[in-house]
Amino acid sequence: MISNDCENIMLITVRAAQLSDLPQLAKMNSCLVDDQGSENPFSLTEYEDRFREWLDTNIWTVDVFLHDGQVVGYSVYQERTDYYDPNETVIYIRQYYIKRSHRRVGLGKAAFQILIDTRFPKDVQSIALDVMETNSVGQNFWKKLGFNEYFISMKKELEQKQLTSRARRQSTEKSWTQYPA
């Protein structure tokens, strides 16, 4: 068991994800979806396919976190121009995950600090992310790291849309941008 954050930051390393990481990334993404109560219907194969596409296209940066040489988490993010200020660079974190067995010992905090120090561009003025309303653990984690609520996104399914949404989720056609987690 790791004893404190100072030791954790020394034991965590971050590297770009590789194709050989796809099975672990898919499994962790599935766990993330479970943790946050998402409705994402993907199978492990579909998660692998989406990660493969991200690695092939470089639209998203995918990094893995290692502790003692073992993958313990990952992050998916991209550099963006701020919506309101085109002169400001923002990092948008799409996914951030630490395996359940490695939580509450400072590894998530340490990995995030290493991302800031070594992976994010130095001219970034802010970091943005979305946390599902059903993910109170995630909300608390990010608040402890200094994040504040910026806006609340709301959604209402209309009765006819509910049927369409259900059918869409059951179809074999998937859009990697349709389901954020």
C-alpha–C-alpha distance, residues 77 and 91, integer Å: 7
90 in any annotated domain: yes
- Per the CB < 8 A criterion, the answer to whether 102 and 67 are in contact is yes
Query: Which domain CATH number covers 90?
Result: 3.40.630.30
Q: Is the per-residue pLDDT at 51 higher than 60?
A: yes
Structural tokens at position 25: 């990334």
181 in any annotated domain: no
Token pair 């409705």 in the structure block, residue: 39
180 in any annotated domain: no
C-alpha–C-alpha distance, residues 130 and 92, integer Å: 9
Range of the domain at 63: 5-170
* Number of separate domains in the chain: 1
Q: Is the per-residue pLDDT at 37 higher than 70?
A: yes
How many angstroms separate the Cα of 79 from the Cα of each of 37, 87, 93, 119, 122?
27, 13, 9, 11, 11
39 in any annotated domain: yes
C-alpha–C-alpha distance, residues 132 and 149, integer Å: 12
178 in any annotated domain: no
Q: How confident is the model at residue 173 (pLDDT cuts 50, 70, 90)?
A: very low
What's the mean per-residue pLDDT of the chain? 87
Please report the beta strands in 70-144, taking only residues with DSSP state E, as ranges in sequence order. Answer: 70-81, 89-98, 126-129
179 in any annotated domain: no
C-alpha dihedral sign at 140, 153, 149, 71 = positive
What pLDDT, on the 0 to 100 scale, is given for residue 172? 41
